[in-house]
Amino acid sequence: MQDRGGQANCLLILSAAAQERGDRAAAWQALEQAEALIRASENGFRAARALCRRGELLLWEGQTAQAEALFAATRHHPACEAHIRARAAAGMA
C-alpha cells in the first residue's frame, strides 16, 4: 500500500491526464483528492506541486488572474523545487 504522499502523486498525475483528455470534472476531482492527502501528510513539496497544478487548471479554464496568483505562490513556496518553479514560471508567461 502506498503512503499518502505516493497516492497524492498518483492523483496529481491523473489530474494532468484528465486535463489532457479534456475531462474537466475528472481533473478537478483528482486534484481535490490529492490536496486532501497532501494536507494530511503535511508534505511541502507536494503542496507546492498541487498549487502549480491548480494554477494550470485555472489557466486552462481561462481564469488568468487566479492562475497567476497561484503560480506566484508556487514560485515563492519554501518547499518548491526547481522544476516546479519552472512550470509555474512557464504558466505565467
- State pLDDT tens for residues 71-88: 999 999 988 889 889 999
Mean pLDDT of 33-37: 93
Query: What pLDDT was estimated at residue 4?
Result: 83
pLDDT over 50 (residue 1): no
Range of the domain at 28: 4-92
Given a contact cutoff of 8 angstroms between Cβ atoms, the answer to whether 54 and 39 are in contact is no
Q: Which residues are within 8 A (CB) of 85 and not within 5 positions of it... i.e. 6 or more apart? A: 74, 75
Contact indicator for 92, 74 with CB cutoff of 8 Å: no
For residue 60, what is the domain's CATH number?
Answer: 1.25.40
Number of domains making up the chain = 1
**Are 77 and 48 contacting, i.e. CB atoms less than 8 angstroms apart?**
yes
Residue 16 has which C-alpha cell? 494532468
The pLDDT score that the predictor gives to residue 45 is 86
Q: Render pLDDT for 55-66 as a digit per residue (tens, 0 to 9).
A: 999 999 999 999
Torsion of CA 29, 20, 63, 66, to 10 degrees: 60
State the pTM of this model.
0.84
pLDDT of 2-34, one tens digit each?
688 889 999 999 999 999 999 999 999 999 999
Q: Where are the beta strands (DSSP E) in the chain?
A: none
Q: Work out the pLDDT band at 35, boundaries 50, 70, 90.
A: very high
DSSP at 66: H
